[in-house]
Structure formats: C-alpha cells, structure tokens
Amino acid sequence: MERLEPHLELAAKSIPVFETAGIKKVVSGPITHTPDGNFLLGPAPGLRNHWLCCSASIGITQGPGCGKYLAQWMVHGQTEINMREFDPRRFGDWACGEYALDKSIDEYERMYATHYPGEFTDAGRPVRPTPIYEKLKSQGAVFAETFGWERAKWFDTKGEGEQYSFRRNNTFSAVAEECQAVRERVGLLDLTSFSKYEISGSDAESFLNRISANRIPKLNSGSSGGGGVALVHMLTELGGIECEATITRLEQNLFYMLSAAVAEIHDYDWLDLQILPAENVSIRNLTNDFGVLVISGPRSRDVLSKLTDADLSNEAFRWMSGKSIEVSGIPVRALRVSYVGELGWELHHPLAKMETLYDALMDSGAEYGIANFGTYAMNSLRMEKAYKGWGVELTTEITPMEAGLERFVDFSKCFLGREATLSRKLLGITTKLVYVSVETSDSDCLGNEPVLDGEQIIGVTTSGAYGHSVKQSLAFAYVKPQYAEPGTKFEIRLLGQKHFATVLKDAAYDPQNLRLRDV
C-alpha cells in the first residue's frame, strides 16, 4: 500500500470523505493485454449484431470513450472518429495461442516505452511468412508485421540494421535506390498480404453495384479475354468510407476483389452482411491461396514477355484490366494496375508456386537491372502519385466528397450511402483533403501532425513521405475548405518545429498518368 499512499492522499484532498472511509477490500486482478495494446471494441468477426468491449489494459480511464463510440457504432453504423485500431477484426486466427502470449507479454513490458516509426519487435514472429521469406531475408530484407504477414520494408544490403528515429535515418539512401530502380528500370515486390476474395453468383454484379459507389467493371470485348479493373469504395448509410477495394471482372458472374491486408476479416464481414436473403451471391476468402508478386517499372513488360506467350502490348492488355495467363508455365491472374505509378502488373498465382515464379522473374530481369523493393519505397512512390490510403486518408469519418473522390462515385445509380454522400455534395463540406509539398530537410510527416495558420489549428495531416524521384517531402492533410486551393500556404508542426507547406494542384510525379496509360 505504501506505493499508493501519495496518490491516495491527493485523492482525499479532492474527496474529503475518502480520507475517513477506509479500505474494506483489496483485489489484485489480472490485467488484460492484447498483442498491440489496444482494446477490442466493435463488431465480433463472423457474427451479426454481436459486439465486443473488452481487453483494455487501462480500462477505467478508457471506459467512457469506449461506451460513447460503441453506442455510436451500434446505433448509426459508424463512429465520428476512426476506430480501425480498436476493431476486434484486426486480428485473425493466426493471432491465437503462443503468438498472443508472446506479443502480449512484450507489449506489457514496453507499454510505456517510446515506439518509433517502423519499429517492430521479434516477439511471436513470424506467423505468416510467405514462401520467399527466407530468400528475401538473405538479400537483406527488413520485415514489418502486417496482419500477421511478414512484409519487406526495405533491403539492408549493408547489414546495418534499421536505426529507428522520428527523423530520416539510415534507410533513406537505400529506399532512394529502390525507388530509382522502379522509376528507371524494374522492381519486384512481394504483396501476398493483399486480402483476396472471389464473388460469384447470378446476382453478383447487382450486389456489388448496390454496395459500391463506383461502377462495376465490364468484360473485355473481343477475344482478348478477361475484364476491367475498377477502384471502388463501399460506404456506410451515413456515407462514411467503410472499405476500399479493386474489383476485377474475370467472367460474367465471377469477380476478384482485393483490399488491404489489415482488412481481411473486416471486409469479408462487410460483404457477407450486405447479402440480401433473396440474392444468389457467394463469397470466398482466397487470401491464403494466392501469392502476389508486383512487377513495376518501364522494363516490366520486357521482363514478363520473356516468360509468357500472352500478348502484353498496350492494345491487347490495357491499363486497368486483368486476365488469366501463364507465366513460366504457372497459371497467373495478371492485373495491369499500379500503386507506384509505373507500367506494371500484379501477378496473382498459387502460393505453392511462388518461389518458382520469383526466381523466374529475377532471372529474366537480370539483364534489365531488376531489383527488390519494399513497402517504404512503395509509400514514397505512391505519395509522388498522390494516391490515397485506406485507414489514413480514407475512413468512416469522411465521405468521398471530403476525400476528393467524386470521380469514383456514380450518382446515376442507387448504392448504399448515396443519399448521405449526395447531401454532402449539395450542402457543402467542412473539411477537405489536400496534397502538399512540405519545406523540411531532415524529417517527413507521419500523420496526425497539426496544420496551422499562425497559432490557429486548421487541420491535421494523415500520412506523408519523402518523394525521392521529385526531391520533395510530400503529405496529405485534412484542412478547412478555404485553405484547399492550389498554391495556398500554411504551416505544419513537425517534431516541435513549424514548416511551410504548399497545396499542390496535381500529383508531383506524372500527373497525366502517361507512364501508366499509353506504354
């Protein structure tokens, strides 16, 4: 009790009756800890109208907020703040047993420590390595854990280890080289962690049209096979962005949907719960069945052409389309899409064939200077293209109107959240997403930095990175609409210092998408 006495004395000053009340009983109970330290708050996976509010390591102080936002979620179908980091569906079956024990003990020991950007401890890992995990590790890959998956952040060819910091660190020059390889030659990235679903049935198209704000892609005309790829957003009834996905039409009643790794259970639940009793729709989670290798860069067609008989020309295989082909004798769902803004394909293949396909691509690409790249480089490249991210720029806190996604919304059809979104469009918005260049020399925005006009807070950043190809520090931020015009200047407080930022009109790199469309 001696450790508590100074605090109890202070409590008695605020509540005098406490001083004479006495202590009747002392209970020493276990503290609940989750692998990431956040509690489980929200829908239980796989169940309808079943909710969790538990596993809080500091439950008394967090209780009022839990009650408030859980009530909002239950009544309105979304909350006024982004609850993604508390959603119970951020864990899967892979997080049970020894993983949960090792991670929770590690989290307990480090719960008051400073956690640096990109820092991951080794406790409980690996639980979801891909078949080329050891091969990438031998080439210097430094991994992050994302929904259990091991994903290469960057390649430490000097064997230095990552020197974690809130400022630019020893990864900076290595990531610059990876970005250069993708922009000038060709790069290869393991993104097996994508969440992958097949949606089929005679009502599959009408179902997807009803829950997606964008149009659903069509089959390709002629004999080329395959179909279009569309970026779609699925909204709540209040217009909040619940999911973001790419949907590829493979056959008349067969669609292939991809979304973020951390959304695997969340998005499956969302899809499953939207099916009406009379609809003939089937959803299969194929996440563990397919590996994904992303080949990107101006020489990617040259590398791939050596391994397939398929016509990869721009005329036969257009940007934002997909089809089934064979690469080095392996059946592949090839999607001509890019999150880095270069010519390239996502190659979705049987997971058991991943190492064989990886070796074939690396051998074929050797003469073109093919290089591995990781998620740090991918983030830098996507920021140069002003590509928004689900869970940071895109959350249930905002509708497509605030996020600048109107071109992805088809108001000519009926879809979930249409009325709320249209209302925002007609009545106006109170915050707007902007894309900015930041004047800084040794650090970059990570998200949640305050945006200022003098001493007035006018917004908040959501994400950022240094664009190695354009030599600029770039960021996204939500600000008051009057600050959203291109050329507008304001300040961002970054590590205690104010830095000027300028709103950009277009993507810093290839704003006309010439590197993607007609190559």
Domains annotated on the chain, with CATH: 206-280+398-427 (3.30.70.1400)
**Model pTM score:** 0.94
Confidence class of residue 19 from pLDDT cuts 50, 70 and 90? confident
Confidence class of residue 485 from pLDDT cuts 50, 70 and 90? very high
Kindly report the average pLDDT of the chain as a whole number: 96
Round to whole Å and give the CA distance between 143 and 454: 40
Round to whole Å and give the CA distance between 157 and 142: 10
C-alpha distances in angstroms, 293 versus 196, 222, 361, 374? 14, 28, 9, 12
Q: Enter the DSSP assignment of 255.
A: E
β-strand partners of 259: 195
Count of CA atoms in the C-beta half-sphere (13 A) of 343? 21
Confidence class of residue 447 from pLDDT cuts 50, 70 and 90? very high
**For the residues 446-460, what does the mean pLDDT come to?**
97
Closest CA to 516 of 183, 88, 164: 183
Confidence class of residue 58 from pLDDT cuts 50, 70 and 90? confident
Closest CA to 144 of 121, 172, 169: 121
Cβ neighbour number for residue 500 with a 10 Å cutoff: 13
Alpha helices (H) along 22-155: 59-76, 98-110, 133-138
Q: Is the pLDDT assigned to residue 178 strictly greater than 80?
A: yes
Token output for 371: 């290089």
Q: Is the pLDDT assigned to residue 88 strictly greater than 80?
A: yes
User: What pLDDT shows up at residue 152?
Assistant: 98
Round to whole Å and give the CA distance between 255 and 439: 44
Confidence class of residue 32 from pLDDT cuts 50, 70 and 90? confident
Amino acid at 229: V
- Identify how many contiguous H helices and E strands the chain contains and give both numbers: 13, 21
Count of CA atoms in the C-beta half-sphere (13 A) of 475? 32
Cβ neighbour number for residue 363 with a 10 Å cutoff: 14
User: What pLDDT shows up at residue 519?
Assistant: 86
Token output for 441: 């020399």
Confidence class of residue 29 from pLDDT cuts 50, 70 and 90? confident
Round to whole Å and give the CA distance between 478 and 461: 6
Longest CA pairwise span in the chain (Å)? 87
- Residue-level length of the chain: 519
Torsions phi, psi for 28 (to 5 deg): -100, 100
Q: Is the pLDDT assigned to residue 223 strictly greater than 70?
A: no
Sign of the CA dihedral with 6 first, then 7, 13, and 18 last = negative
Alpha helices (H) along 189-319: 204-211, 264-274, 300-305
**Across 9-18, 142-151, 376-385, 475-484, least confident range:** 9-18
User: What pLDDT shows up at residue 225?
Assistant: 80
Helix (H, G, I), strand (E, B) or coil at 291: strand
**For the residues 108-120, what does the mean pLDDT come to?**
93
